[in-house]
Structure 1
Amino acid sequence: MTRVLGERHGELRRAFPTGVATARQLAMFGFTERTVYRRCLDGGPWQRILPGIVLLFTGTPTRDQLVFAALLLCGADSVITGVEACRRHGMRRSPSRLHDELEVLVPHHRQVRSVGFVQVQRTERLPAPISKGGIPLAPLPRACIDAVRRLRSGSDVVELLSEPVQRGRCTVAELGAELEAGSRRGTAVPRRVLADMGEGIRSAAERAAQRLWRSAGLPEPWWNAEIRTADGEFLGIADCWVDDVAMVWEIESTEWHLSPSDHDRTVRRAAGFTAAGAVYTATKPNRVLREPEAVAAVLRATYEQARARPRPPLRATPARS
């Protein structure tokens, strides 16, 4: 008997290598419905994770197994979108409150409801999926826009949308086109954020800095402008650039950069700006939020310092959308 059970277990592992199966698949494998659900009772060798979806083991499922379970629930042609798809595309910024949920796109005619950790979105614009690790993902612009529709915080929205743009994975225009192509549900905040990003804003810190700058009564700057010497040597991208006086204002903190190495590049970039003749100042994000009047005073003084000396022959190009 032990040998028979062991052989059956091996067959199941080969048939369902992810460790996830539907009750219907198990019935086709020879198990009665009663046996399937009896084996999912407390103390049994299996567990039911979603309606009609069984994990063929006890213990905690992996993230991949949760995703496969969600896809089995939603049926053929279903596509993972939202934060999970963004993460699998390599994005690292996302609000933690959405991490426990899986958002899945299904054809509009399919009658599947959200349940447990699965958020089902019926759509008439089912995208052609991109497969990663055997998991069908919505293209990155669609995944980002589906994710931000569920957010209300402008800071969360700008952090999620800015990362793929910063890393060259998509453009502001592509995100905007995806936003326009869908319904208007949950688009008020993303529309405002994309408008800011069209002006060069690339992070929540920069968004707060933009508001502070405008309150300081200073000339309108360029955000995330490319700076070069007169000979065309690339110096870096300035968070905030005042072109008429060649002044740089950076929002400087590792918490707003992708990694410590990015922060190191920021420090080297600052030295390069200064050596080339730009007047440079930097502010920590928490000072922008907590001491706006003091920061504004420093910015005004720095601008006057920059205006008082001859402008160096530096060239700037506004951020690309």
Structure 2
Amino acid sequence: MRRGMWGQRPELLDQVGVAGVVRTSELERLGVARSTISARCRAGGPWQRLLPGIVLPQNGRPSFEQRALAALIFCGRNSVVTGRSALRCHGFGSYSGDVDVLVEVDRRVQSTGFVKVERTSRMPDADVRGSVACAPLPRALLDAARRCTTVDATRAMIAEVVQRGAVTADQLVVELEAGSGRGSAIPRIVLREMAANVHSVPKAHVRRLWMSSELPEMVFNRKIVDAAGQFIAMPDGWIDEVAFAWDIDSLDWHLAPKQYKHTVERRTRMQNAGIIVLPTLPSGVRDIPERVIADLQAHFALAASRPRPNVRMLP
């Protein structure tokens, strides 16, 4: 193609790139001189160099998708985005930091700029989201979890995905056992908690708090029905011998009016069925555990003092 034709036909740049992201070698094939590329990518110029050999022919802030695509183009064949960037592609969170990329173990590409390269002998098949080749959700989630430094942050990340039904705890256990042991200690703790049906940060603390209360056995996240078998609710905690329910409110959950209405209605159903209900805020579990234990003991005593209502817990 005659040198300079790309200037009269800017759509040619779109044809050789993806979402505007293009290799400098492709620009050169269009007749764009290396000196022109360098000049246009200088500070304040109309283009920008995202990574070595990767250009974005615009001067605005690159989108999340453009950064992810640039990372994949830079890393080359069969590479996939993983970790928190992949979680965003799968619809979880709004992460916009460094892009973690899996490459085959024999590749020599190195981390640079916002790209963090991880070599793996367990290269997953790509799950393409939009234009971005991602690791499958279980792999992406555990790769992100391995980089977390606290149990609470890991628990919150995994709980969001599991609670939305996008992946099961069993799938995560299989993936964890198949993968590297590096960074697996905290995810392993969280998955053990989930085996006990504790699916969120406050509820995990709740389980430990109940164990300190010296109350009878409490089960978590079990369905309660009335005498006719009609569903009443699935409280966070339940002591069956006295029909006592413990409900842990979520402040994030209550930011949406529709969800708050749902919480009020389910609590009303429990109370109408004669169930004693103790609502507790997560902040109480965290900041005033002694008071919460006292509330638990008082509400249990109240439940034990009245005839047990005709409700039952499903297996």
In the superposition, the TM-score normalised over structure 2's length comes to 0.92
Shift, 1:76, TM fit? 1.8
Shift, 1:127, TM fit? 1.5
Of 247-256 and 192-201, more deviation after overlay is shown by 247-256
1:61 is aligned to 62
Shift, 1:183, TM fit? 0.6
Secondary structure at 1:109 match in 2? coil
Secondary structure at 1:295 match in 2? helix
Give the 3 Å change call, closer, same or farther, for CA 145–258 of structure 1 in structure 2: farther
Q: Which amino acid aligns with 2:91?
A: G
Correspondence list, 1:295-310, <5 A? 295-310=292-307
Please point out which of 107, 111, 114 is paired with 1:110. 107
Q: Which amino acid aligns with 1:71?
A: L
Q: Which amino acid aligns with 1:205?
A: P
Secondary structure at 1:228 match in 2? strand
Secondary structure at 1:209 match in 2? helix
**1:84-116 residue CA offsets vs partner (Å, 9 max, x unmatched):** 222222224x8xxx6412111111111122222
Secondary structure at 2:236 match in 1? strand
Correspondence list, 1:196-235, <5 A? 196-235=193-232
Give the 3 Å change call, closer, same or farther, for CA 88–5 of structure 1 in structure 2: closer
Of 257-266 and 287-296, more deviation after overlay is shown by 257-266
Question: What are structure 2's unaligned runs of at least 5 residues?
Answer: none
Does the alignment pair 1:172 with 2:169?
yes
Does the alignment pair 1:184 with 2:181?
yes
Secondary structure at 1:244 match in 2? helix
**C-alpha distance in 2 between matches for 1:258 and 1:108:** 45
Give the 3 Å change call, closer, same or farther, for CA 150–258 of structure 1 in structure 2: farther
Give the 3 Å change call, closer, same or farther, for CA 202–293 of structure 1 in structure 2: same
- Please say if residues 220 and 237 of structure 2, whose CA atoms lie closer than 8 Å, have aligned partners that are also in contact: yes
Correspondence list, 1:67-106, <5 A? 67-92=68-93, 99-106=96-103
Give the 3 Å change call, closer, same or farther, for CA 160–274 of structure 1 in structure 2: same
**C-alpha distance in 2 between matches for 1:176 and 1:31:** 51
1:31 is aligned to 32
**C-alpha distance in 1 between matches for 2:257 and 2:227:** 30
Q: Which amino acid aligns with 1:163?
A: E
Give the 3 Å change call, closer, same or farther, for CA 25–257 of structure 1 in structure 2: farther
**1:125-175 residue CA offsets vs partner (Å, 9 max, x unmatched):** 121222221211222111110100000111111111111221111111111
Percent identity between matched residues is 42
Give the 3 Å change call, closer, same or farther, for CA 129–5 of structure 1 in structure 2: closer
Q: Which amino acid aligns with 1:49?
A: L
In the superposition, the TM-score normalised over structure 1's length comes to 0.91
- Please say if residues 205 and 256 of structure 1, whose CA atoms lie closer than 8 Å, have aligned partners that are also in contact: no
**Greater relative contact order (Cα < 8 A, sep 6+):** 1
Secondary structure at 2:110 match in 1? coil
Runs of 4+ in 1 over 3 A off after TM superposition: 3-6, 32-35, 256-260
Give the 3 Å change call, closer, same or farther, for CA 157–200 of structure 1 in structure 2: same
Give the 3 Å change call, closer, same or farther, for CA 90–261 of structure 1 in structure 2: farther
**C-alpha distance in 2 between matches for 1:137 and 1:260:** 34
**C-alpha distance in 1 between matches for 2:283 and 2:193:** 20
Q: Which amino acid aligns with 1:292?
A: P
- Please say if residues 79 and 104 of structure 2, whose CA atoms lie closer than 8 Å, have aligned partners that are also in contact: yes
Of 68-77 and 257-266, more deviation after overlay is shown by 257-266
Equivalenced residue count is: 312
Shift, 1:296, TM fit? 0.4
- Please say if residues 110 and 122 of structure 1, whose CA atoms lie closer than 8 Å, have aligned partners that are also in contact: yes
